Amino acid sequence: MGKMYGGGHRLKEGELKDNSSADFFACLAHSLFEGKHSATYKFGFLKSLLDNLFSSEKGDDGLFYLDLRTIASTFVTIYWNAVVLYDIPQMPMTSEGKTSGIARVFKDMLSANPLLKAPFESLRTDVKIEAMKKAYPVFKENVIGAFYYDTEGLIYGFSKKENCLWLNQNSMDFLSHHKSLIDQVNYYEWLKMCEKILKEHGLEPIPYLSTKLEEITKRVNLQPFKEALERDCGGNNICFYCGKPLRKGEGELDHVIPWSFIKSDPEWNFVFACRSCNNGKRDAIPSTEYLDLVQKRNERFNLGNHDMRALARIAAYNGVKTGWKPKKG
């Protein structure tokens, strides 16, 4: 591509360029392998984009739109858990002791209240709002334009004024069909940079660092999602898959399209299941009859009109096992 990297931070908007013949892998390779990385922002951003890919809304113009605040919410969760919970440095320490802007925001909050050293999801709502309010301007200033610049505007367009970015069918197809591969390459490069930073800081290696990075946004407490699903469409009295009656509080939440692939928790992807079905299904996709039932439920209760069969095909392309059915009897 022959261009310089590390610019674009101050761009207020960027058009999505013609990518009908783009080499998307080359675009990402240049950004992840050759781009200027003064902090790990680009890795966190790419993960946040991929995690929210299937929450995009398709417009009448055929483009897929994502609210920057939605992406930033995942980004803030990632960085809070990395910086506050696990003490993983995300930027080489400068001679002046400078660290990344978002790390400083969170460290200042922690200094004011040491009790905040906890998973982001367990924090009080007002603390989450405060973290987002303080970190979002830094996210917009330092991340969106930089990644756009590194990938030459071939992956997405964006508008900071409108707080959104958009993909076309070409970039959406590329990111979704190669999501698992891109995820793993991104984690690997992110892990290498974190290990390099730790070494430069003279710090001891962090145990299970790769696992912590990979599962940094995984929900531990699904109770709020249970309550939301019960409130919005009920159905917590029988197992979605086998029809077994469930006593109050017995139903478990299952990601229809497995969390290991989609890596987010949209309500339209949850169903109540008995423990046997939930454990048996694990990281598989159910057979099409259940996908159709989920889609009909989502349309009935206005949870979205996501094409569950299409999502299943994309997940299968990424290596996810399909066609699971509950055991009879």
Across residues 154-182, what is the average pLDDT?
97
Contact 89, 197 (CB under 8 A): yes
- % of the chain beyond a pLDDT of 90: 74
pLDDT in tens, 64-94: 999 999 999 999 999 999 999 999 988 876 5
CA-to-CA distance for 162 and 164, rounded, in angstroms? 6
Evaluate if residue 314 carries a pLDDT over 80: yes
pLDDT in tens, 139-158: 999 899 999 999 999 999 99
Residues facing 321 on adjacent strands? none
Please report the pLDDT score of residue 93 as a whole number.
Answer: 64
Please report the pLDDT score of residue 33 as a whole number.
Answer: 85
Per DSSP, which regions of the chain are E strands? 13-14, 57-58, 64-67, 157-159, 164-167, 252-255, 270-273
Please report the pLDDT score of residue 90 as a whole number.
Answer: 87
Across residues 288-296, what is the average pLDDT?
97
Please report the pLDDT score of residue 5 as a whole number.
Answer: 41
Please report the pLDDT score of residue 97 as a whole number.
Answer: 55
Across residues 244-266, what is the average pLDDT?
91
How crowded is residue 138: how many other Cβ atoms within 10 Å of its Cβ?
A: 19
CA-to-CA distance for 88 and 216, rounded, in angstroms? 11
Of the chain, the end-to-end C-alpha distance in Å amounts to 59
Across residues 296-301, what is the average pLDDT?
95
Residues in the chain: 329
CA-to-CA distance for 93 and 77, rounded, in angstroms? 22
Please report the pLDDT score of residue 280 as a whole number.
Answer: 96
Looking up tokens 């999502």, which residue turns up? 311
pLDDT in tens, 189-211: 999 999 998 998 888 999 999 99
Evaluate if residue 328 carries a pLDDT over 90: no
For 106, the token pair is: 């969170």
Give the mean pLDDT of the chain: 91
- % of the chain beyond a pLDDT of 70: 94
For 199, the token pair is: 């070494």
pLDDT in tens, 2-41: 443 456 778 999 999 999 999 999 999 988 887 666 789 9
Evaluate if residue 1 carries a pLDDT over 70: no
pLDDT in tens, 81-140: 999 999 998 887 654 456 778 999 999 999 999 999 999 999 999 999 999 999 999 999
Across residues 228-234, what is the average pLDDT?
89
CA-to-CA distance for 90 and 87, rounded, in angstroms? 9
176-193 b/e with 16+ CB inside 10 Å = b? bebbbebbebbbebbbeb
Across residues 159-177, what is the average pLDDT?
97
The CA angle 265-267-271, to the nearest 5 degrees, is 100
Across residues 295-323, what is the average pLDDT?
95
CA-to-CA distance for 72 and 78, rounded, in angstroms? 10
Secondary-structure percent of the chain, ordered helix, strand, coil, rounded to 5? 55, 10, 40
3-state secondary structure of 64: strand
- Is the pTM here over 0.75, yes or no? yes
Please report the pLDDT score of residue 4 as a whole number.
Answer: 38
